[in-house]
Amino acid sequence: MQLVRHLLAGKPVGVVSVEPGATVLEAIAVMARHETGSVLVMRGRSLLGILSERDYTRKVVLKGRASASTPVADIMSSPVVTVGPDESVQHCMELMTQRRFRHLAVVDEGLVIGVVSIGDMVKAMLELQKQEIAQLQQYIAS
């Protein structure tokens, strides 16, 4: 069974975050620079929220707010749903599907250690399927 810690091992170390007082425009620039669809909102080591592209489109664009003057704290999703590093990929995928979001913060002993995305989950599930197919083919051939 593949765990979240296995996914994090294949990703760059660290988390992409902004302060709650940052503007939405600044947060979007951080997401673009890191080529990610979300950014954690943190004050020091404390996780306050998460801002996703979906938050941006629904809470800024559709409501006519100004990206350059709206603070991230005004539109972030909070509280953040988190998982631990020993959570299974399957459970995370189910959680993301049920709750309809694409990013999960990973917390270990009270500290944020990373973020996993639905893309990470799909990639892991496809790899698992490949392995199972190869095992079945080997079993049939023997």
* pLDDT tens for the chain, residues 1 to 142: 789 999 999 888 889 999 999 999 999 999 999 999 999 999 999 999 999 999 999 999 888 999 999 999 999 999 999 999 999 999 999 999 999 999 999 999 999 999 999 999 888 888 888 888 888 888 888 8
Alpha-carbon distance of 72 to 80, in angstroms, equals: 14
Alpha-carbon distance of 55 to 38, in angstroms, equals: 9
**pLDDT value at position 61?**
87
75 closest CA partner among 56, 61, 62: 56
Indicate the SS3 state at residue 62.
coil
pTM here is 0.86
Indicate the SS3 state at residue 132.
helix
Would you identify the CATH topology of the domain 4-141? CBS-domain (3.10.580)
